Amino acid sequence: MLVSYRGFATIAQSGLHTGFGDDWIRIGAVKLVIDGVWGTTAATYQPAWNGSGTMWMPNNTGGVSTTQEEFNKAVLEPHRQGWQVWVHANGDRGQDMVITAFENAQQLYPRPDARHRIEHFAHFLVQDAQRTAERLARMKRGGIIPAPQVAFLWRLTDVNVKEPDMKFFPMKTLIDMGFNPPGGSDTLGTQNFATNPMFSISVAVNRKTKSGTPANPEEAISPMQAIKMFTIWAAYGGFEEKVKGSIEVGKLADLAVLAGDPLTIAPERLAEIQTDLTIIDGKIAYQRSGELATP
């Protein structure tokens, strides 16, 4: 639910809240926006690299949509009323503002399991290692969830990947630190095919751009870790881990039967795996005819 900073009062009066609804349709988080996109309008400490964006300007550190004081207020009210808050923050400067707002809200109205998230927490500036380390430590202390969309690594150009001192979508680093980043595509148009989770799983494992260029291959994760991003970790990121994310007694009978085993198939073929059967609420909703994929 994307709202303006001053639009939350109307929502609050409606009686809606995170988790309102049923197993078919449910209200999730309030989403706020603090900055823009990487390389052009994301709020950063270091100027955007001259090969990172199509609208490059010298000494461009992006911008934010409001002041720290105003943003603290924007986060505080939904937090106080028990909502989960997701914030679009692509740049490190914007992300620090978000963390400060989350910390302020928790100090005034402590909630032990708020699961607030930073959407597009995707890139680390290696030359700014101290700020990065401090940012991650604050997120760990506050239980803040980083939510990168690794599918966008595929879009990087051969110029983008040359950006100096950069780690794009550092999934292994995040997971090794104990974060469980939820998977997602963040697309209804820019990459329609990325709504298929096998595409993102393939990108997270293989770390190749659309031209086949490796992008920080040291940040590759295992197929099982990538699967968790789009199952149990995604469920946890939306307060649904008790009913979704794994096949267990007592959870929803919403299942997908794949035409190949993602744990044994050649990694470069992960994106080729199709779905043979989809079951929703215990009933077959989709069935594909054809041969099964082989490793």
In this predicted model, what pLDDT tens digit does every residue of 255-289 receive, in sequence order? 999 999 999 999 999 999 999 999 999 999 999 87
Is a pLDDT exceeding 70 seen at residue 135?
Answer: yes
The arithmetic mean of pLDDT across residues 65-94, rounded, is 95
What is the reported pLDDT for 126?
61
pLDDT value at position 295?
A: 47
Domains contained in the chain, CATH given: 8-249 (3.20.20.140)
Radius of gyration over every alpha carbon of the chain, rounded to an integer in angstroms: 20
pLDDT at residue 81 greater than cutoff 50: yes
Q: Give the percent of the chain with pLDDT over 90.
A: 78
pLDDT average, residue stretch 240-250: 96
Whether the Cβ atoms of residue 87 and residue 117 lie closer than 8 Å to each other:
yes
The residue behind tokens 């939350």 is: 8
Q: What is the pTM of this model?
A: 0.92
Tell me: the pLDDT tens digits for 174-188? 999 999 999 999 886
